[in-house]
């Protein structure tokens, strides 16, 4: 070689940079999480997530059509029941007329032919105590008693026409139990998007406002300890063995090392969830004029893709899809 090595040569023009870019960001790789609330006539802004709403049934349909027109790859729906409809078992989760199941039917009907409709399969929005499972007499989250509730919930969701069920509760054996329940009922084509590695994160704060969570205390007996990396591989292997069709890492930004570990080992597609606190941080900093909003959003999404996510759940899915197309 004569002279010094010059990596800058390939950064000189936009065309050169485009030619050598290793990571892509495309609308189809983005999934929009959405909230539908029972009894709302108009959408309601979530104060800790400016720009994100709890939807009415009407505004849900409209926002879904808009997202699909923008080219997003899928929609993930969460339900927000009325406070008086919550109970210790989260009964509304498995009620075909519960808000989440009505919302899923609306989405399947409205956009089900042109996108992937996903359901959050977890009890926490529906339980009066806010936990992701049912409680034992001593007040602990009872893993095995919860599994039957998840199966009931999954069957009600499969019936709506949802394509994928997002198992976000972090109970041991949940993927296997739900897979077996779906298959036994003939729902062999309903897939499972398994939250394989889900950490007990402080960054879920705004989400808990978004769904009107009743939780007191924390989820540290079932969600993973942020200190642990190896454990995520164990969770991944269990979910794969139990029949996960897609696996997810959550949150994204503080767990990019975990995402890389999972992406390197997974035999199925990998998703990552850019969660509410990540959305809130970038939004707040941008509102203060401290960072460039669009640049920060796209860089955060690209970073998650580069770490190994095939697809990213992000509250910016529709807006980012517009920018990208
Ligand atoms: C719980 C659930 C959580 C999120 C989605 N489903 C976290 C929690 O409350 O522990 C978080 C999503 C977000 O923060 O954007 N089943």
Kindly give the distance from the C-alpha atom of residue 209 to the centroid of ligand 1, in angstroms, as a whole number. Answer: 10
Give 32's strand partners: 75
Q: Which of 46, 141, 207 best tests ligand 1's pocket when mutated (most atoms within 8 Å of CB)?
A: 207
Is the separation of the CB atoms in 281 and 251 below 8 Å?
A: no
pLDDT in tens, the chain (325 residues): 678 999 999 999 999 999 999 999 999 999 999 999 999 999 999 999 999 999 999 999 999 999 999 999 999 999 999 999 999 999 999 999 999 999 999 999 999 999 999 999 999 999 999 999 999 999 999 999 999 999 999 999 999 999 999 999 999 999 999 999 999 999 999 999 999 999 999 999 999 888 889 898 999 999 999 999 999 999 999 999 999 999 999 999 999 999 999 999 999 999 999 999 999 999 999 999 999 999 999 999 999 999 999 999 999 999 999 999 9
Q: Tell me the C-alpha distance between 308 and 274, whole Å.
A: 13
Residue nearest to atom 2 of ligand 1 (CA): 168
Kindly give the distance from the C-alpha atom of residue 207 to the centroid of ligand 1, in angstroms, as a whole number. Answer: 6
Instruction: Classify residue 235 by burial, with Cβ atoms within 10 Å: 0-12, 13-18, 19+.
Output: buried
Q: Which residues contact 18 (CB under 8 A, 6 or more apart)?
A: none
Q: Tell me the C-alpha distance between 113 and 119, whole Å.
A: 16
Instruction: Classify residue 200 by burial, with Cβ atoms within 10 Å: 0-12, 13-18, 19+.
Output: middle
pLDDT of residue 103: 98
Q: Tell me the C-alpha distance between 310 and 157, whole Å.
A: 25
């Amino acid at each position: 070689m004569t002279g010094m090595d010059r990596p800058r040569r390939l950064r000189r023009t936009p065309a050169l940079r485009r030619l050598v870019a290793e990571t892509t960001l495309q609308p189809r790789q983005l999934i929009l999480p959405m909230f539908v609330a029972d009894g709302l006539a108009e959408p309601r802004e979530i104060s800790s997530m400016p720009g994100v709403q709890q939807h009415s049934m009407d505004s849900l349909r409209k926002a879904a059509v808009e997202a699909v027109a923008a080219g997003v790859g899928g929609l993930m729906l969460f339900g927000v029941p009325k406070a008086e409809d919550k109970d210790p078992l989260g009964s509304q989760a498995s009620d075909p007329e519960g808000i989440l199941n009505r919302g899923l039917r609306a989405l399947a009907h409205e956009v089900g032919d042109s996108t992937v409709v996903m359901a959050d399969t977890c009890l926490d929005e529906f339980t009066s105590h806010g936990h992701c499972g049912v409680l034992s007499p001593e007040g602990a989250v009872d893993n095995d008693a919860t599994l039957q509730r998840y199966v009931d919930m999954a069957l009600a969701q499969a019936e709506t026409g949802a394509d994928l069920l997002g198992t976000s509760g972090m109970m041991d054996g949940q993927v296997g139990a739900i897979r077996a329940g779906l298959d036994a009922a003939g729902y062999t084509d309903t897939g499972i998007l398994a939250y394989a590695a889900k950490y007990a994160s402080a960054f879920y704060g705004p989400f808990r406002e978004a769904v009107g969570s009743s939780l007191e205390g924390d989820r540290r007996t079932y969600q993973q300890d942020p200190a642990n990396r190896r454990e995520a591989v164990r969770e991944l292997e269990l979910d794969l063995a139990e029949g996960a069709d897609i696996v997810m890492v959550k949150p994204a930004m503080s767990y990019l090392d975990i995402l890389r570990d999972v992406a390197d080992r997974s035999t199925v597609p990998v998703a990552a969830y850019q969660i509410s606190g990540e959305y809130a941080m970038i939004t707040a900093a941008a509102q203060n004029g401290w960072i460039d909003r669009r640049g920060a959003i796209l860089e955060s999404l690209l970073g998650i893709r580069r770490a190994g996510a095939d697809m990213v759940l992000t509250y910016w899915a529709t807006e980012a899809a517009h920018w990208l197309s």
